[in-house]
Structure 1
């Protein structure tokens, strides 16, 4: 709503104008801009390797002889296991990476540009009117 300019011909005894000025007020609000979840995830991998194993056994061969002292075609073999390699698998965790996670705050300067309005009194005269102190009202 704008006020209409008042002239001397309007026959007002007193004129009152409210002058306004905009002032700049800057405030800040701390806002969450992201949500981060940090966790470890394990993956499995099946690995297949070939391992040579040794065995030691005692072999007993029994040959059946006939009456002439010759070896008959039947041979009896007995195998007794004495020792063998047994496979033992041991898993050793090794450090792959050392990951550090921390927060860091830093400050920067941002420029804010805003246009402010201010109202001032302007006096227009018609005719030969002399004001006592023109700077006092302006």
Structure 2
């Protein structure tokens, strides 16, 4: 599992890298994380932290120490990729947020090996509060940690409603005027001058009937189904802002002075 050391200045960071090199560490075991890029430096090759996974592709010939600047992009997932466990990852994020340089060291057990002791630690004691330095129950690699709760917002997709579409049949009456033809019979009678018929005309005693068929058009109705309308169903995502709030707790350090001690600036460097 990887661990890390923090440094307040570029000079101390580079001095520690030289020291670890002299102790046998390879450059591939060392990586630097900082909020901003160190300019004009031959020891480090800087990339954005999101490019760490493809560093060999970006610069395949480079064999030195890689460094990454976060800017405003402090996604915890990037820090987990360094091999830190969740607690160490949170501490590394806090160190970068406070303006420190983080040196990630990938070597099992290096913290327990006195051979790899940070010889420059004594020169950085002024960065540690006096009440911590004077405690006899802490080694120089131990420190008091202040914790705070941070809101972590998660989103999940849930069903908020449902729209149902179904068809039903309604009945309405349609009227159409259709012209139709009918046959109408008219009988016209005209008086004529009597024309003599042939002698011997036989008046038939039976009634003779002439039948004339009369026709008319009748309307028949058939029904056919047609598509009269199409309905398209579309869904789209809209974004709106929701404000969430929750109380969080934060630890603050109280410095208790006892006896003849030098004045301690409890707000030094804005750490409290």
TM-score by length of 2: 0.31
**Residue in structure 2 matched with residue 130 of structure 1 by the alignment:** 262
Which residue of 239, 242, 253 corresponds with 1:107?
A: 239
- Equivalenced residue count is 112
- Give the 3 Å change call, closer, same or farther, for CA 112–77 of structure 1 in structure 2: farther
Instruction: Give the CA deviation at 1:47.
Output: 4.6
Give the number of the structure with larger relative contact order, counting CA–CA contacts within 8 Å between residues 6 or more apart. Answer: 1
- Give the 3 Å change call, closer, same or farther, for CA 51–20 of structure 1 in structure 2: same
Which residue of 215, 231, 252 corresponds with 1:83?
A: 215
Deviation per residue, 1:83-112 (Å, 9 max, x gap)? 211102244556654432211123344444
Q: CA RMSD in A?
A: 4.2
Q: Which has the higher strand share?
A: 1
Larger Rg: 1
1:1-138 aligned within 5 A: 19-47=146-174, 53-56=180-183, 80-91=212-223, 96-125=228-257, 128-130=260-262, 134=266, 135=268, 138=272
SS at match of 2:215: strand
Gap runs ≥5 in structure 2: 1-135, 138-143, 188-207
Q: Which has the higher helix share?
A: 2
CA distance in 1, matches of 2:244, 2:149: 16
TM-score by length of 1: 0.52
Deviation per residue, 1:17-58 (Å, 9 max, x gap)? 874310221100100011221122210124566766543266
Maintained 8 Å contact 1:19/1:120: yes
Gap runs ≥5 in structure 1: 1-12, 61-75
